Amino acid sequence: MKKLMLGNEAVARGAYEAGCSVAAAYPGTPSTEITEYISKYDEIYSEWAPNEKVALEVAIGSSIGGARSICSMKHVGLNVAADPLFTVSYTGVNGGLVIMVADDPGMHSSQNEQDSRFYARSSKVPMLEPSDSQECKDFVKQAFSISETFDCPVIVRLSTRVSHSQSAVELSDKEDYKLKQYSKDANKYVMMPAMARKRHVEVEKRMAALREFSNESRLNKVEMTSKDIGVITSGISYQYVKEAMPDASVLKIGMVHPIPEKLIADFAANVKTLYVVEELEPFFENQIKKMGIKVIGKEKLPIIGEFSAQLVAEKLLDKKFDSQEASNNAVPVRPPVMCPGCPHRGMFYVLKKLGLTVSGDIGCYTLGALPPNEAMDICVCMGASIGVAHGLEKARGADFRKKTVAVIGDSTFIHSGITGLIDIVYNKGNSTVIILDNSITGMTGHQHNPTTGFTIKGEPTKQVDLELLCKSVGVDRVTVVDPFDIKEFEKVVKAETDADEPSVIISQRPCALLKHVKYEGSHRIIQDKCKKCRMCMKIGCPAIVEKGDHLEINPALCVGCKLCTKICGFGAIERAGE
């Protein structure tokens, strides 16, 4: 039976068919749906972990415990999980262990464009890369088998266009995988210097065996046509090459680490001109050049951003395409915005009004950096807002600190913000941290987290009490406030930034997109009362617009959160009649 599936959904299906029984992840675009789809299979235990490091550690534990296990994350998540990755490469596995990592060339929803293939090489772990949904399923199943055959974790690399493209997948039955025996083996699983030295020898033996395997494996395949042009490629780039250069011979690499050196040498010997088409870094190219083979790659193709079939044809075949971009000059850009009813809007209004320096973090609220609020100075990575605020204080002193706050979402705070807060308390900092508690992990599309009180399957569970947590690490000043109570919010921010001790403000209001959040519906501007002072526009709500000589509220967008009614000094906004 064939089914249309997202790449991410096909990964989940592959895990299911392989008899995988434990899955852990932290959400991150473009990887999130893998674990969301896995959670729909009752045969697989699944969880949202507090961060990627914990997720991988859970998967390592279940693998050692004998279960086929999968752990999924976005590219930057692998940075967080890198510590266990490098050592599980030494311990090896018991039940198969597959690590899914989704890169984001073009940065559709990311803060950098890193190429995860280097992790495979530096941690000495094999890596596979599928190019469509069918391969997503097939490669995940093969990854489990390689993991067990070679006693190592296997990384499967995706990219946005593979993760988020749907194509047809042939479904198969679930394998009847039996939990493997667990037996204590300190020489394999306790990585102290004496044991690790021996394991490193095993790792090098394994890599040598995998290099042979790569040459023989059907994961790598040659599609020979003409002898004029040969292209070595992998993943989504393969699709662009097939589209743009139907006459070229292609070596499609499915096992991107270790690369199939013999296969590459044979292929190179059979074509006149050899290209490497790979997004981001010259990962294959540099290795192929090191083999002494003449190959053209980054001298023609960009190192930045996504490819397309057109780009490949332009750069390698010198094809010209009519560019009509001039006609587009008049089209205003449409950057993403905080949704109508977003609780963060009230908070950013206050922070901007007070002219504070804002150390930001990763989530929907990063949009506070864009106009009209522009109320964010710095944003680096998950959890960084708090450490950065502390560093600002240590560099610039108390006066600067009193005009500075860190802002961080509930899920991000649990991910890696709590350690920063402990640092502030321990090292006598006095910064103010605002935790945006919107009852969900927002940007990635509503996943539960330890502060929501529900598991990935929606089952009730213990809920981390943010107030109690902050107090317990030594923050005495913890205030909970509604960001739509603008006056009170402003008062609290002033008082807490002014205090000469660390403080936490929990800005509490649920995400407007949550099903249980019911606002009363769209509002309108009473034109007779409106003085056109434009105060309501300062909150940057996409529903409030200027039409001709007056302001109005777009009824298709307004949810009725009433934030604007609190800003309007003339009572000119009211509930719209039916």
Residues in contact with other proteins by CB under 8 A are: 2-4, 29-30, 32-33, 108-109, 132, 160-161, 164-168, 236, 239-240, 242-244, 308-310, 321-325, 327-328, 330-339, 364, 367, 370-372, 443-445, 537, 540, 542, 544-546, 554, 556-557
CB of 144 to other proteins, least distance (A): 26
> Cα 258 to chain center, whole Å?
25
What would you measure as the largest C-alpha separation in the chain, in angstroms? Answer: 82
Q: Which two tokens stand for residue 301?
A: 């193709």
Is the distance from CB of 504 to CB of 477 less than 8 angstroms? yes
For other proteins, give the closer residue by CB, 179 or 309.
309
For other proteins, give the closer residue by CB, 257 or 448.
448
Alpha-carbon span 67 to 148, nearest angstrom: 11
CB of 399 to other proteins, least distance (A): 32
Q: How far is CA 7 from CA 31, 56, 211, 302, 308, in A?
A: 10, 21, 27, 25, 18
Is the distance from CB of 73 to CB of 34 less than 8 angstroms? no
Alpha-carbon span 570 to 553, nearest angstrom: 16
CB of 42 to other proteins, least distance (A): 20
Q: 235-244 vs 309-317: helix axis angle to the nearest 10?
A: 60
For other proteins, give the closer residue by CB, 239 or 432.
239
For other proteins, give the closer residue by CB, 152 or 158.
158
For other proteins, give the closer residue by CB, 23 or 511.
511
Alpha-carbon span 5 to 12, nearest angstrom: 10
For other proteins, give the closer residue by CB, 405 or 544.
544
90: DSSP letter: H
Partners of residue 73 on adjacent β-strands: 101
Q: Which two tokens stand for residue 119?
A: 């992790």
CB of 412 to other proteins, least distance (A): 14
Annotated binding-site residues read 530, 533, 536, 541, 558, 561, 564, 568
Length of the chain measured in residues: 578
Annotated binding-site residues for [4Fe-4S] cluster read 530, 533, 536, 541, 558, 561, 564, 568
CB of 164 to other proteins, least distance (A): 5
Q: Assign residue 60 a region: left if phi > 0, alpha if psi is -120 to 50, beta otherwise? A: alpha
Q: Residues near 136 by Cβ (< 8 Å), separated by ≥ 6?
A: 5, 7, 8, 10, 11, 14, 130, 158, 162, 169
CB of 20 to other proteins, least distance (A): 23
CB of 141 to other proteins, least distance (A): 22
> Cα 262 to chain center, whole Å?
35
For other proteins, give the closer residue by CB, 391 or 542.
542
CB crowding 188-217: b at 16 or more within 10 Å, else e: bbeeeeebeeebeeebeebbeebbebbbeb
CB of 18 to other proteins, least distance (A): 24
For other proteins, give the closer residue by CB, 372 or 391.
372
CB of 116 to other proteins, least distance (A): 17
For other proteins, give the closer residue by CB, 520 or 546.
546
Is the distance from CB of 242 to CB of 234 less than 8 angstroms? no
Alpha-carbon span 354 to 277, nearest angstrom: 50
Alpha-carbon span 223 to 214, nearest angstrom: 17
